[in-house]
């Protein structure tokens, strides 16, 4: 059968499966003890935090396991009116890019920070797939604290993947493109000559978490899908799945499936680092945004960086080696020992497992194919291969590992998870998913020491699983108990966005490190109001700055007059509470952006430009006390040039002479 016909048959099989009857055993797939295994009693905590990508929502969701309860949605790349993310003056800079303000993205993958190959509970790194970005979420506050744009990239899909001690978070481009700048104006038909892949090595400060692009590798113009760093014996290496080795630029479903095999690309990043330190990289002038949030000032800043260091791998052939892999590989996964690398060719009916030791032996012995790929060495398939898992299923995508020498692979076409032994490559168990599973996740399943116990499958299609909700149904996560010899499906729960990948860690690693309040005495926001006595209204030309406090259950001031049409009003709201879990909201009638959600001890700013004269209520939008409904006030807007004086008050304390900046 031709390559094209095989691809078409595989796709037809997928379509048939999705629209056909349920898999056998559906009615009794969940056994009677499932409820007891997932029940978390009122007042009790889940065992794991599960950080799940929000896909096209651009956000990160946090669920408890085993309950499946949604605990938090962390805004990252997309504006969020609930929390004012991207709407408040303090957070707007976080969504700045070289393209301007970009209030959305496509968040696919999640990576926990690690120490010695094990999650340490400090940070979560996530990728923005569309406008290439990396973000860092601080697990003391569950907030996004840093976002860095990635130049020379398009479709930041092969990202973010970390080294053993999070020295680097690594991001590979999905779409190979010409480098940024004037050189990018080339015919699309010149793909093979002018399109290149770039892999960004982003350094992470081990104390602060601050990120910086240390260097980029310029590679042949393939598409990078997923990646994993080596660990243990393979520490210092990175492994990327590559497709479109044909370097096609149109109708990829056919033209990028011509070759029998694509590649796993093995990168000696330690060697690349040595070359960069020796000054072998080339400086490239380029613009990209680097955004940081400061928890002391409660404000974000956006700085435009202007240079990256690029190492062209074609000039250093001892950095990159290609390993043939069944076509269109998705997952590229490294087992806990660092010895075995699993490639998942989506159009293959087997799973190849490569050996790190054999790869090193092949490199030393130059066991290469006679024909190089784009001038770089290609290791012979058999020279790198440990073995193949035969007939595991249809459409292998992604593999994770438990602590007992077993691997678990998702199969998109046959809608199942398959358990197999790494050493003897024998299939041990298979269980259906509902339906068309993409990624799966085992707590710690990508680390040196998996926690095991649970597996979560993230499914793209949920026909007949949930109550219908119009043309689009909820996306799905399914929880399996993997503590025994056989996997057991014990829970379905819906997720936000389109879930792609997730990572989970024991709750004990994070829960006792939470920041409960911001110490108001340490609030260094330039417009902080640390007590009601400091509340005031200041006019600066057509700008009016309202220094306003919130405490159960009133604002100070709560009556403001003398605002005029054409004024820009900045409400700088300081939450005076110093008690855990007592945020205050702030909203004003007719605001064209969003509300604010202000944490205890924090200051946040809402910009408001009134569009008409009249009385505008302000109020607390977050339930805070029995008198929450009474937590309100009024703003009077008069015509431009009005002689209504600028005044503000709380109770009968009228301020007739507010400060006017000179």
Which tens digits make up the pLDDT trace of 491-517? 999 999 889 999 999 999 999 999 999
Looking at per-residue confidence, does 332 or 184 come out higher?
332
pLDDT above 90: residue 662? no
What count of other Cβ atoms lies within 10 Å of the Cβ of residue 399? 31
Indicate the pLDDT class of residue 659, thresholds 50, 70 and 90. Answer: low
CA distance 291 to 145: 8
Q: What angle do CA 337, 338, 340 make, to 5 degrees?
A: 95
Side-by-side strand order, sheet with 60-65:
70-74, 60-65, 48-53, 502-506
Residue range 160-213, pLDDT digits in tens: 999 999 999 999 999 999 999 888 899 999 999 999 999 999 999 999 999 999
162: left (phi over 0), alpha (psi -120 to 50) or beta: beta
CA-CA-CA-CA torsion for 136, 141, 143, 146, nearest 10 degrees?
-40
The Cα–Cα gap between 335 and 201 comes to 22
Report residue 311's pLDDT band, with 50, 70 and 90 as the boundaries.
Answer: very high
All residues at 6 or more sequence positions from 463 whose CB lies less than 8 Å from its CB, including other chains = 18, 435, 473
SS3 572: strand
Which has the closest alpha carbon to 60: 142, 131, 141?
142
How much of the chain is helix, strand and coil, in % rounded to 5?
15, 45, 45
pTM, full prediction? 0.94
Number of neighbours of residue 175 by Cβ within 10 angstroms? 16
**451 phi, psi to nearest 5 deg:** -85, -25
The helix or strand, by DSSP H or E, that contains position 35, with its residue range, turns out to be helix 34-38
Query: How large is the average pLDDT for residues 56-77?
Result: 97
Length of the chain: 662
How many Å apart are CA 588 and CA 634, to the nearest integer? 9
Q: What are 334-374's pLDDT values in tens digits?
A: 999 999 999 998 888 899 999 999 999 999 999 999 999 99
CA separation for the pair 641, 136 (Å, rounded):
47
- Residue pair 450/457 in contact by the 8 Å Cβ criterion: no
Name the residue with tokens 């304390």.
653
Listed residue (99, 95, 76) closest to 287, CA to CA: 99
DSSP-based three-state secondary structure for 106: coil
CA atoms of 588 and 281, how far apart (whole Å): 53
Summarised one tens digit per residue, pLDDT across range 274-301 is: 999 999 999 999 999 999 999 999 999 9
Residue 26 has pLDDT above 80, yes or no: no
What's the chain's average pLDDT? 93
Beta bridge partners of 217: 199, 311
Q: Check: CB of residue 403 under 8 Å from CB of residue 422.
A: no
Here the tokens at position 152 are 């020379």
pLDDT given at position 8: 41
Query: 359 near 266, Cβ under 8 Å?
Result: yes
Residue 10 CB partners (closer than 8 Å, separation 6+): 346, 347, 394, 395, 413
Structure token pair of residue 619 = 């109020």
Residue 611 above 80 pLDDT? yes
pLDDT single digits (tens) 232-249: 999 999 999 999 999 989
Residue 648 has pLDDT above 70, yes or no: yes
Q: Which residues pair with 268 in a beta bridge?
A: 237
Q: What domains does the chain contain, in order, with CATH numbers? A: 46-509 (2.130.10.10), 525-656 (2.60.40.420)
Q: What is the dihedral of CA 205, 208, 210, 214, to 10 degrees?
A: -10
Q: Is the pLDDT of residue 591 over 60?
A: yes
- Lowest mean pLDDT across 165-174, 381-390, 426-435, 458-467: 458-467
Asked if residue 289 lies in contact with residue 98, where contact means CB atoms within 8 angstroms, the answer is yes
Strand partners of residue 262:
325
Joined together, the tokens standing for residue 309 give 């260091």
């Amino acid at each position: 059968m031709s390559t094209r016909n095989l691809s078409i048959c595989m796709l037809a099989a997928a379509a048939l499966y999705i629209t056909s009857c349920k898999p056998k055993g559906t009615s009794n797939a969940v056994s009677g003890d499932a409820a007891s295994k997932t029940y978390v009693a009122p007042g009790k905590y889940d065992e794991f935090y599960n950080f799940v990508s929000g896909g096209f929502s651009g956000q990160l969701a946090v669920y408890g396991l085993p309950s499946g309860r949604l605990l938090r949605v962390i805004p990252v790349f997309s504006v969020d009116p609930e929390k004012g993310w991207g709407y408040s003056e303090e957070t707007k800079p976080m969504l700045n890019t070289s393209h301007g303000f970009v209030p959305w993205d496509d968040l696919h993958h999640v990576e926990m920070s690690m120490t010695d190959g094990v999650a340490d509970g400090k940070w979560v790194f996530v990728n923005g797939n569309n406008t290439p970005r990396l973000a860092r979420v601080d697990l003391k506050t569950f907030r996004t604290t840093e976002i860095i744009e990635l130049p020379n990239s398009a479709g930041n899909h092969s990202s973010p993947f970390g080294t053993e001690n999070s020295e680097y978070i690594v991001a590979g481009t999905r779409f190979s493109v010409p480098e940024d700048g004037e050189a990018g104006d080339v015919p699309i038909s010149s793909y093979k000559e002018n399109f290149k892949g770039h892999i960004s090595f982003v350094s992470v400060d081990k104390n602060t978490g601050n990120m910086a692009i240390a260097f980029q590798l310029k590679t042949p113009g393939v598409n990078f899908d997923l990646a994993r760093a080596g660990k243990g014996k393979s520490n210092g290496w990175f492994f990327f799945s590559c497709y479109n080795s044909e370097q096609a630029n149109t109708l990829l479903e056919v033209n990028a499936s011509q070759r029998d095999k694509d590649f796993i690309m093995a990168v000696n990043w330690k060697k690349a680092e040595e070359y960069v330190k020796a000054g072998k990289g080339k400086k490239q002038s380029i613009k990209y945004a680097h955004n940081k949030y400061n928890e002391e000032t409660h404000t974000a800043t956006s700085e435009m960086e202007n240079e990256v260091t690029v190492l062209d791998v074609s000039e250093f052939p001892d950095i990159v080696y290609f390993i043939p892999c069944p076509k269109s590989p998705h997952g590229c996964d490294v087992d806990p020992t660092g010895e075995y690398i699993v490639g998942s060719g989506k159009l293959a009916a087997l799973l190849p497992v490569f050996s790190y030791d054999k790869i090193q032996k092949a490199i030393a012995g130059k066991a290469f194919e006679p024909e190089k790929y784009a001038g770089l060495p290609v290791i012979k398939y058999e020279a790198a291969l440990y073995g193949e898992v035969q007939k595991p299923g249809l459409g292998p995508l992604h593999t994770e590992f438990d602590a007992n020498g077993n691997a678990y692979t998702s199969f998109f076409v046959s809608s199942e998870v398959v358990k197999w032994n790494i050493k003897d490559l024998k299939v041990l168990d298979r269980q259906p998913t509902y339906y068309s599973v993409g990624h799966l996740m085992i707590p710690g399943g990508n680390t040196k020491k998996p926690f095991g116990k649970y597996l979560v499958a993230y499914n793209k299609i949920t026909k007949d699983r949930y109550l219908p909700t119009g043309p689009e149904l909820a996306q799905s996560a399914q929880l399996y108990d993997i503590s025994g010899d056989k996997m057991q499906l014990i829970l379905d729960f819906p997720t936000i966005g389109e879930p792609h990948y997730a990572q989970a860690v024991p709750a004990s690693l994070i829960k006792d490190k939470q920041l409960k309040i911001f110490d108001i005495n340490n609030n260094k926001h330039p417009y902080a109001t640390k007590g009601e006595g400091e509340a005031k209204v200041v006019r600066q030309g057509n700008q009016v700055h309202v220094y306003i406090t919130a405490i159960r259950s009133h604002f100070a001031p709560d009556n403001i007059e003398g605002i005029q049409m054409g004024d820009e009003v900045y409400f700088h709201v300081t939450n005076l509470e110093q008690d855990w879990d007592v945020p205050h909201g702030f909203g004003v009638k007719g605001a064209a952006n969003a509300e604010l959600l202000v944490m205890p001890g924090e200051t946040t700013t809402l910009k408001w430009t009134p569009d008409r004269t009249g009385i505008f209520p302000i109020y607390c939008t977050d339930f805070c006390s029995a008198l929450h409904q009474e937590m309100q006030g009024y703003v009077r807007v008069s015509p431009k040039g009005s002689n209504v004086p600028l005044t503000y008050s709380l109770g009968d304390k009228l301020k007739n002479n507010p400060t006017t900046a000179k």
